[in-house]
Structures are given as C-alpha cells and as structure tokens.
C-alpha cells in the first residue's frame, strides 16, 4: 500500500480474495445489465451508453455508489431495491446476445463490429476523446481534493 501511494497511485485494501477482485466485479455487473437491456429490446447500444456517459457515470469520478446511496438515503435505496432488483438480469453465464455476436465474429472494435460499428478512424477518435476527457477529469478530481 505504501509503495503504491508513494508512486502516486490510490490503492485499496481488498479484505477477501474473490474472483474478479472489486473493480472488475462491479464493471461486469454493469455490463451484464447493459447487454441485457439491449438484448431485451429495451434500449439501443447507443442509448444505453448515453445513459451511463451522460447520466450517473458523470458522478462516478467524484462519488462512489455507496456515497450516492448515503446521499439518497438508505431508506430510499432499499425501497428502490425492493421494486427494481427482481427485474434485473441475474444470469449465471454470458448473455445469449453476447454469444451470438461472438459466433458471428463480432468481437468489438478489433473486428470492426460489436455492439457498435468501428472504422479505424472512429476507433482512433473515440480513444483520443476518451484519453483527453479522462485527463481533464483526473485534473479536476485532483484539484477538488487539494481545494
């Protein structure tokens, strides 16, 4: 922990070894539900991505999910869970939509097709925009912590 902190990182202590550790588990839970929403025809890949990018994803650089739950109120969080959780995907394996895409050779950006279509130019533009935006966000987060 000390070495990583001195190197400018922000390590977290994982109290128990589990498959996927912490970040990957949370990320893939989000991905599972995102794929499910597309698979069920509830929203397009573009709209699912927009909800995260332009909605709650904006908060994630500043507030974690448990801070957000505290701010909303745990009573409200529980009420939403009671109503919503039964409707979330709880599959124990990969989505059938994901399996179909793989069978069709749609491997994502590296193959030019996944949930989105990719050209070398669109891939380069997305990566450049991602990197530029993440650097801006990181600078703002660091500045906010120092203020």
Q: Write out the DSSP string of 23-80.
A: HHHHHHHHHHHHHHHHHTTSS-HHHHHHHHHHTGGGGGGT--HHHHHHHH-HHHHHHH
Please tell me what DSSP assigns to residue 113. B
Read off the pLDDT band of 89 (50, 70, 90). Answer: very high
**Residues whose CB falls within 8 Å of the CB of residue 137, separated by 6 or more in sequence, listed in order:** 61
Spatial distance between the Cα atoms of 41 and 101, rounded to a whole number of angstroms = 15
Does the residue 60 lie in any domain?
yes
Please tell me what DSSP assigns to residue 108. B
Please report, for the domain that includes residue 65, its CATH number.
1.10.1040.10
Contacts 24+ apart (CB under 8 A), 44-47: 45/115, 45/116, 46/116
Does the residue 43 lie in any domain?
yes
Owner of token pair 């991905």:
31
Domain span at residue 62 reads 15-92
The domain tally of the chain equals 1
Does the residue 131 lie in any domain?
no
Read off the pLDDT band of 144 (50, 70, 90). Answer: confident
At residue 82, the pLDDT reads: 98
Residue 145 vs residue 123, higher pLDDT: 123
Using one digit for the tens of pLDDT, what is the confidence trace for 55-86? Answer: 999 888 889 999 999 999 999 999 999 999 99
pTM: 0.88
Read off the pLDDT band of 50 (50, 70, 90). Answer: very high
At residue 43, the pLDDT reads: 98
Residue 142 has pLDDT above 90, yes or no: no
At residue 146, the pLDDT reads: 87
Contact 112, 119 (CB under 8 A): yes
Contact 14, 21 (CB under 8 A): yes
At residue 10, the pLDDT reads: 85
């Amino acid at each position: 922990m000390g070495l990583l902190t001195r190197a400018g990182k922000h390590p977290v202590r994982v109290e128990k070894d589990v498959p996927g550790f912490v970040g990957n588990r949370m990320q893939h839970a989000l991905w599972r539900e995102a794929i499910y929403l597309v698979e069920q025809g509830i929203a397009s890949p573009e709209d699912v991505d927009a909800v995260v990018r332009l909605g709650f994803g904006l908060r994630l650089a500043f507030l974690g999910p448990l801070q957000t739950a505290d701010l909303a109120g745990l009573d409200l969080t529980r009420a939403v869970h009671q109503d919503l959780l039964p409707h979330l995907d709880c599959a124990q394996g990969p989505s059938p939509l994901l399996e179909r895409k793989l069978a069709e050779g749609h491997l994502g950006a590296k193959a030019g097709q996944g949930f989105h279509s990719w050209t070398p130019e669109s891939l380069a533009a997305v990566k450049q925009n991602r990197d530029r935006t993440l650097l801006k966000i990181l600078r703002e987060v660091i500045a906010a912590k120092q203020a």
